[in-house]
Amino acid sequence: MTATRSGRPSRERRNRAAAVRAFERQEARGGIFEILHDEVAWTIDNGRTHTSQAGFLAKGAAPVMGRLASTLVMTIRALWTDGDTMIIRFDGDVAAIDGAEYHNEYCRVWRPHGGRVARSHASMDIIAVQELIDHVEPG
């Protein structure tokens, strides 16, 4: 079967467009996490896997987001698609609520299902995250 007949290029275009829209929502002070399936499996470099959007937002994202003065500015550095896999490398920058600058480099591997991310593997500078958590009290 050829790539065109398999629907792979159109699927890759849809996945790429969905990822870009999620980052655009973040840029507009919306939420990038709206792209997540309710039952997303989200694995972070430290080996912890959250098995729902609500669980990830409460235990994975909230400890960081609660220490930020505003929405994280995410700048895509590279975006690759291969079938139903998206790899997004991006920078995140924002001031913490104490005024200190927070910068991190991220890489996410996303697998969508039904137009939303059902599986995510998140890589980041864990030391930068830990320093933020250790030095800034949540707001």
Over residues 87-134, the pLDDT tens digits come to 999 999 999 999 999 999 999 999 999 889 999 999 999 999 999 999
Q: pTM to 2 decimals?
A: 0.88
Over residues 18-76, the pLDDT tens digits come to 999 999 999 898 889 999 999 999 999 877 899 999 999 999 999 999 999 999 999 99
Q: Are 93 and 106 in contact (CB under 8 A)?
A: no
Over residues 13-30, the pLDDT tens digits come to 999 999 999 999 998 988
